[in-house]
Structure 1
Amino acid sequence: MQIEPLSDDFEHNCARFLPEAAAQGCVWALEGNEGFALCESVKYPQTEVMPFWSQREFAEIHVEGDWAEYQVVPIDLEEFMDDWLTGMHEDVLLVGINWNRELEGIEMEPLDLLEQLEQELR
């Protein structure tokens, strides 16, 4: 099945994240030898963002350049909601949602995403 690629419409890419992650039961991230991929926030100086994608293919696009040695890994949605998002909140990290090829997209507070995922799964 052909997956519609992410676009320059960040709101649309973000809106796709919830139902696609819920349908798969996982989200996708990039993991390297020293941990998971992080970027500097565009919106908040001196804050880091950890990007996640709703489809494996979206994450695979970013295994290049600085992240060429990273692996695309699934994170169980329940674990993501119960452990990751609360931990990221405590560590003052933001969540990057379905960023496009240029690493552009929505940056969100982890607890806001948690609330949206809980609503999606009701």
Structure 2
Amino acid sequence: MSNQRKSLAQITALTPEGRYDYLVEQVKEHKEIWTLQDNDGCVMLTTEDEDCIPMWPSEEAAALWAVDDWQDCQPLSIPLNEWEERWVSGMEDDELMVAVFPVQDDLGVVVQPWELQQRLQPKTKH
């Protein structure tokens, strides 16, 4: 089954690594990545060791997180070129990690912004 035909429920049920792969595929295809924001700025999540900004592959996936404590948050589209030019270095300067496609019971894979950026780069032919 192609990823285009998978429902959001099927996608959110993937393993953290599967959701990471799906996010990379979708961001490459649609040239945008999604986070959540409220009046104070972007949503921040904290693991035991890291402060993270969650990122999702679509507005619908980000909106699934906007419940309970996050119900006032709105999905924010970040164009891929803006992610590359401003977000990666800004997050690194602020020592922030990326929580890749978290779902309600699973924070997902947590990576350095440059690691996600490397996965988003077009493959070069040798």
TM-score (structure 2 length as normaliser): 0.85
Q: Describe the shift of the 1:68–1:53 C-alpha distance in structure 2 as closer, same or farther (beyond 3 A).
A: same
Cross-structure match for 1:67:
70
Q: Describe the shift of the 1:114–1:86 C-alpha distance in structure 2 as closer, same or farther (beyond 3 A).
A: same
SS in 1 for 2:107: coil
Unaligned residue ranges in structure 2 (runs of 5+): none
Unaligned residue ranges in structure 1 (runs of 5+): none
After the TM superposition, list the runs of 4 or more consecutive aligned residues in structure 1 that deviate by more than 3 angstroms: 1-4, 119-122
Cross-structure match for 1:104:
107
**Distance of 1:121 and 1:33 partners within structure 2:** 40
Cross-structure match for 2:28:
22
Matched residues, number: 119
CA RMSD of aligned residues (A): 1.9
**Distance of 2:64 and 2:124 partners within structure 1:** 28
Q: Describe the shift of the 1:6–1:120 C-alpha distance in structure 2 as closer, same or farther (beyond 3 A).
A: farther
Give, as a single letter, the amino acid of the residue that structure 2 aligns with 1:101: Q
SS in 1 for 2:114: helix
**Given that residues 100 and 109 in structure 2 are in contact (C-alpha distance below 8 angstroms), is that contact kept between their aligned partners in structure 1?**
yes
Deviation at 1:119? 3.7
SS in 2 for 1:18: helix
**Distance of 2:123 and 2:58 partners within structure 1:** 17
Point out which structure has higher relative CO (alpha carbons under 8 A, 6+ apart): 1
Q: Describe the shift of the 1:107–1:66 C-alpha distance in structure 2 as closer, same or farther (beyond 3 A).
A: same
Deviation at 1:108? 0.3
1:36-73 Cα shifts (integer Å, max 9, x gaps): 0001024x2xx310000001111111111111111111
Identity among equivalent positions (%) equals 21
